[in-house]
Amino acid sequence: MATRRGTLETTDEVARLAGELERAEAYAQQLRQRIVDVKDQLAAGNVSRALSMLNEALNFIDSATDVVTSHPSLPRQRKRPPAPQ
């Protein structure tokens, strides 16, 4: 019985970690896309728009800290206050 319980706990942990990895990969892809978009705006000479997009990216990062710290055994990170506009 103890072996079956251990196996179920291991299976649950693997599934949880796989899901967390998928969320982290999606988050990283979104960040990479934001970087590409900002570079495009800079290349087009839209510095103001690029700065605005960077501010949006910082807000995105601040609001997504739970992606990295969702497990109950990990300490929650304190969120930064919003950047002045």
3-state secondary structure of 41: helix
Q: Show the tokens assigned to 4.
A: 């079956």
Q: Are 20 and 71 in contact (CB under 8 A)?
A: yes
In the prediction, which pLDDT does 2 show? 55
- CB distance 38 to 50 below 8 Å: yes
Whether 16 shows a pLDDT value over 80: the answer reads yes
CA distance 16 to 7: 14
- Of the chain, the percentage scoring pLDDT greater than 70 comes to 72
